[in-house]
Structures are given as C-alpha cells and as structure tokens.
Amino acid sequence: MKYEALNFEEKFGLLDEQWSPKVIAEMNDYQFKIAKIEGDFIWHSHQDTDETFIVLEGSLRIDFRDGSVTLEQGEMYVVPEGAEHKPYAENEVKLLLIEPKGVQNTGDRDENERTAENDVWI
C-alpha cells in the first residue's frame, strides 16, 4: 500500500486565501487545519472545546481580555474552552489549528465577514 506524509509547506502552497482554514487531516473526531492570517480576527470563544494554535511560520498574538500571548515559529498555545480571545498577526502568519470537527472559526459570534466555511479539505 502507498502511505504518504502530509507536508505543511506543500499544503500551504495550495492555499492563497487568508482567514480561510482548510482541513488537511483527521484524528478520530478532531481535525488539523492550516490557515494564513494577517490583521485582526474578532473576539470570540468556544463554549465546548479547547483550541490549539501552532505557529509554523511568522508570529501570532492571541489577545485575551486580561492579557495576551505571542507565539513565534515552533511555539504552540491551547486556548481553553470558554476563554474569549482574538488572534492578531501584524504580518501574515502560517498556522496549524487543531480542534474537534465541526467547530466554527468564529465560535459563539453571529455569522460575520470572518466566518469561514467549515470542513473544507485541501
């Protein structure tokens, strides 16, 4: 049988659009997604799940209501369930996101210009 590694750079080569997470793999009922973001996201939270951010290239700041964390390449952070947060990137950052299948990127917020279609593979 043919087994193939998933190469992050190769997958990012297929993704032009910012703010549009794409699924690259599933583990049980969790999904691995890549995303390019630049600028400000919106404040939101996920009431039922933690959410993992891994920075593959660039720098990402995650703002919380009472502080912030900055992730550089080779760093990760798990945003706890229920925590209001707002990702921000001064320059484009390449991210690996890990969360349960079906989680909406804008969390508890009404649909808006940052709402992305879910479960789209690349």
> What whole-number distance in Å separates Cα of residue 13 and Cα of residue 17?
11
72, 32 contact by CB (below 8 A): no
Contact track, its own copies, 7-26, x by CB under 8 A: xxx---------------xx
CB under 8 A: which stretch of 14-22, 36-44, 76-84, 110-118 binds its own copies?
A: 76-84
Which member of 23, 42, 98, 116 binds its own copies (CB under 8 A)?
98
Q: Identity (one letter) of the amino acid at 103? A: V
Q: Closer to its own copies by CB, 59 or 115: give it.
A: 59
CB under 8 A: which stretch of 14-22, 35-43, 46-54, 106-114 binds its own copies?
A: 46-54
By CB under 8 A, the count of residues binding its own copies is 38
Residue 9 burial (CB < 10 Å; 0-12/13-18/19+)? exposed
> What whole-number distance in Å separates Cα of residue 28 and Cα of residue 25?
10
86 in contact with its own copies (CB under 8 A):
no
72 in contact with its own copies (CB under 8 A):
yes
